[in-house]
Structure 1
Amino acid sequence: MATWALITGASKRIGLAIARQLHSDGYNILIHYGQSAKEAQQLKDQLNDIRPNSAMMMQADLAEPKAVKRLTSDILAANISLSILINNASCFFPTPVGTSNFCQAQQILTTNLLSPYFLAEQLSDLLGQNQGCIINLLDIHAKRPLKDHGLYSISKAALEMATLSLAQELAPNIRVNGVSPGAILWPEQSLEQSQQAVLDAIPLGKLGQADDIAKLISHLVSATYISGQVIAVDGGRSAVGFKGA
């Protein structure tokens, strides 16, 4: 019987690529979405056309403090065999010093740090029954902050430490790893000049693709002796410094 993979933020961008990859690997996909109901429904229909009854969708605004508890309750009520949690959903916007406020901090930290952590905690019994795994989507800016995005960088740095802590505490029944994307997909409002500055700083000289992340996650899911690791997927950028954005 196929087991299920929960992917937060699964209907777009990197989350979409991960969902398609794990589905092709034979897993059933639990599509979490926040606001993108149309895209989530389209993905659900596509996956179920490929393999009937292999996808379902659940909504939760992970910026809301009570969302994780509701989502967990819905998952338990679905009575599925869950073996994978991919914490992909993320909140990203600039918060320059002097312009940010508590509400922005709460939104970023709840979405990017607290919700992934408590999802892992509250689903640990279910995941542990299947010798499951958790993979957190981090960012290369967890190690060196992105200018004007201090709260975002802080949230990803804290999630990296949470990844290592969870790997200790949830062993031996659950493996926990992190994946740190570099320049994979441009932010929707990025400028061409800043894009070129980033590309100039990447040894491989090109933008990564969402499938690069999805393929690594596919490997980590199947690699049963890897836990407590954070792997950068950045074209070599972290090896030479962080020039550019």
Structure 2
Amino acid sequence: MSDTTTLHPNQTALITGAAHRIGATTARTLHAHGIDLLLHYRHSTEAAEKLANELNAMRADSVRLLQADLHETGKLPVLIEQAVSAWGRLDILVNNASSFYPTPVGEATTHEWDDLMGSNLKAPFFLSQAAAPHLLQHRGVIINIVDIHAEQPLKGHPIYSMAKAGLVMMTRSLARELGPEIRVNGVAPGAILWPEQGLEESDKSDIIDRTALKRQGQPTDIARAVLFLIREADYMTGQIMTVDGGRSLGY
């Protein structure tokens, strides 16, 4: 990938759920390419502050923190206004924050429905809606972190799979609604990071064995895809870039 940092001065990005995992790696990658960051977190104060300090030590006053519960839909426009006020502009929104856990049919609750739909679909939509007027001013970009299970449902996780499927359609719908000024794309990770609990080693081996590349991916693979969609994909919108080592070729 060519380094186009000098062609995009003073870009700013809001990344939701940025304190850990793919969000933190994406933050480091975008920051390394000259993008100033607004890092959103909900409860992970210590991790968010540590990441911000790390990146600000590399480039002074290039990272700021925003705390919010994305389920509080009415406050999402305020979150966007706080992001814009940091440096007077917003160029990129990365909808990364997500909840993930099983909801077997017969045991699922309305609370789990609201939580999974809220974090994976409702919040990204209303954040995008609030951000759109600001992104419009700079021909901005929205990147949604989707999942390969938006296309192939994950056993035991119907609500999560449905929410991510909705996020795919949201990506396509907003690309049509917000074009030509704003591009909207998504990245669908496969076997990148394992769930924090509930997956046996045998399950991990089976998942890896079903990839064409026979190996697990890394968060940097997703971060580089996000960077590509921001910096190199000027004629792409409404698309989902699948980064799964070829797992979606067949199940």
Q: Output one character per residue of 1:91-150: Cα deviation in whole Å (capped at 9) or x when no partner.
A: 001100111111110011011001001111111011111111000000000011101100
State the Cα distance separating 1:71 from its structure 2 match.
1.4
The secondary structure found in structure 1 opposite 2:37 is strand
Superposition deviation, residue 79 in structure 1: 5.2
The one of 181, 199, 208 aligned to 2:217: 208
In the alignment, which residue of structure 1 is the partner of 2:188?
180
Verify: 1:217 aligned to 2:221, yes or no.
no
Within the candidate set 241, 244, 247, 1:231 is matched to 241
Q: 1:25 to 1:79 in 2, by over 3 A?
A: closer
CA distance in 2, matches of 1:211, 1:218: 10
Structure 2 residue 109 is matched with structure 1 residue 92: no
Distance in 2 (alpha carbons) for counterparts of 1:126 and 1:73: 9
1:35, distance to aligned residue in structure 2 (A): 0.9
Structure 1 residue 196 corresponds to structure 2 residue 205:
yes
CA contact (8 A) 1:64 1:110 kept: no
Which amino acid in structure 1 is aligned with residue 181 of structure 2? N
Distance 2:246 2:26 in 1: 22
In structure 2, C-alpha distance between the alignment counterparts of 1:224 and 1:136, rounded to whole Å: 16
What's the secondary structure of 2:14's corresponding residue? Answer: strand
List alignment gaps of at least 5 residues for structure 2.
1-8
Q: Per-residue CA shift, 1:199-241, capped at 9, x if unaligned?
A: 1111100110000001111111012111111111000011122
Question: Partners of 1:69 and 1:98 in 2: how far apart?
Answer: 36
Which residue is equivalent to 2:250? Answer: 240
Give the conservation status (yes or no) of the 8 Å contact 2:14–2:83: no
Aligned counterparts of 1:191 and 1:3: Cα–Cα separation in 2: 42
Contact 1:4 1:80 in 2 (8 A): no
CA shift digits 1:69-108 (9 cap, x unpaired): 3312423443521100000000001100111111110011
Mapped partners of 1:15, 1:79: distance in 2: 21
| Residue 86 of structure 2: aligned partner | 78
Please state whether the residue corresponding to 1:157 is helix, strand or coil.
helix
Contact 1:212 / 1:233 at 8 angstroms: preserved in 2?
Answer: yes
CA contact (8 A) 1:63 1:108 kept: no
Aligned to 1:41: 49
Q: Name the counterpart of 1:102.
A: 110
Number of equivalenced pairs: 241
Q: Which residue of 124, 148, 153 corresponds with 2:132?
A: 124
Which stretch has the larger CA shift, 152-161 or 185-194? 185-194
Name the structure 1 match of 2:167.
Answer: 159
* % identity of equivalent residues: 46
- CA-atom RMSD in angstroms: 1.1
Q: Give the partner amino acid of 2:236.
A: I
State the one-letter code of the partner of 1:227.
T
Alignment correspondent of 1:61: 69
Name the SS of the counterpart of 2:162 in structure 1. helix
Quick check: 2:225–2:241 contact (8 Å CA) kept in 1?
A: no
Distance 2:193 2:215 in 1: 11
Match among 139, 142, 158 for residue 150 of structure 1: 158
CA distance in 1, matches of 2:87, 2:206: 49
Q: Secondary structure at the match of 1:66?
A: helix
